[in-house]
Structure formats: C-alpha cells, structure tokens
Amino acid sequence: MPRNRRPQDRSEKLDEIVTAAARLFSEAGFEQTSMARIAQAAGVTPTTIYWYVDDKDALLVAALDHLLADALEEFDQQAGAPLIDQVLWALERLSRHRTLIGVVHARSEHASVVATWHDGFHALMDSLVTAHLDKQGVPEPDRTAAARLTTFAVEGLLSHPTSAAETRAVLDIVLSR
C-alpha cells in the first residue's frame, strides 16, 4: 500500500521511482521485476509510475542513467590514475549491475529508447578513453580504435566475468598500443 507522505515535487518522486527500479532491476532482473513491484518499493501506485515514464523500457533507461551518473560522479576521483586502472575501477563499479548488460542488448532490438541509450553509452565510453589517449599523445586512428576496443572489452568483461588477472591481461592487450 502506498504510504502517505508530504507533497513532493516531480523530480523527487521520479528519483524515488528510478532508484527503486535501478535496485530491483539489478537485484532481481528486468523481466522478473514488475511495475507493481517497483511501485511498491517506491511507495506509489503502479499507475503513478506512468505519470513519469512512458513504459518499462523508459524506466530502464532512467535507471541506467541514474546508475551511470552515480558511477561518473565517482569516476572523477580516478582522473589521475593510469587508464588501465580507471578501466579496472569502472569494471568493478559496473559489475554490481552486470545483469543489465544482457538486458540492454536484448531490449535494444525491441525498444528504440534502449537502443539510443546503448549507443550513447558507447559514445561516452569511447570519448572518455579517447580523451585519455589523446593526453598521452596516441595518434589517430589508433586512438579511436583503442577506444572502441576498450568499450567492447568493458562490455564483454561485464558480460563474461573473469579473474582479476585475466581481466588485467585482456585490458593490457587492448591498451598496449
């Protein structure tokens, strides 16, 4: 049953819904998490969610944006570290939500909002790595290729967890040029 509360502004309520969705999608899985369950966790009725998002895919994107924003906020603290350490840190941080990688790939085929988010994630990863490689003086086209390979490696390593030593070895090869 939704709990009675003081009136909240729209962004606060949306944040509660998105936070609940992100937690449940990560813990229980996207398909196993109903909108009713999210509503219960957020303390709203299921129909209330639709005042804020169009559908479950849009809520997934909002949850992914929320998780990514949190990670990027922490990522700023890694700015001075070597690139491989930054990527290892990102892998560790994102591994808490690794179940969502498969969901994003599967839903991208059916939901343009998820496909657009996925493309944006790739562009963001590519730009972060490219900027770092640019500072190191890595020339084009090596810089762009290394950034793309790093993005693919991050997704692959999140989807197929390996030991810390194997993960480092993969990234050493990807970033060795």
DSSP characters over 22-82: HHHHHHH-TTT--HHHHHHHHTS-HHHHHHH-SSHHHHHHHHHHHHHHHHHHHHGGGTTS-
Q: Is the pTM of this model over 0.75?
A: yes
Residue 32 one-letter amino acid: Q
pLDDT of residue 177: 64
Sorting pLDDT into bands at 50, 70 and 90, what band is 3?
low
Which residues form the domain of 72? 10-175
State mean pLDDT over 14-18: 96
pLDDT of residue 75: 81
* In a domain? residue 112: yes
pLDDT digit string, tens, across residues 58-102: 999 999 999 988 888 888 788 788 989 999 998 998 888 888 999
pLDDT digit string, tens, across residues 130-153: 998 998 899 998 999 999 999 999
* In a domain? residue 44: yes
Which CATH number do you get for residue 51?
A: 1.10.357.10
* In a domain? residue 4: no
pLDDT of residue 176: 82
- Nearest partner of 121 among 107, 104, 138, judged by Cα: 104
* In a domain? residue 3: no
- Nearest partner of 21 among 13, 33, 32, judged by Cα: 33
The total number of structural domains in the chain stands at 1
pLDDT of residue 74: 82
In this structure, the dihedral spanned by the alpha carbons of residues 123, 164, 89 and 11, taken in order and rounded to 10 degrees, is 70
Is residue 130 within 8 Å of residue 143, measured between CB atoms? yes
Name the token pair of 3. 């709990």
Q: How far is CA 140 from the centre of its chain?
A: 27
Name the token pair of 122. 């790739």
* In a domain? residue 52: yes
pLDDT of residue 46: 94
* In a domain? residue 34: yes
**Is residue 121 scored above 60 in pLDDT?**
yes
* In a domain? residue 142: yes
Q: What is the mean pLDDT of the chain?
A: 91
* In a domain? residue 2: no
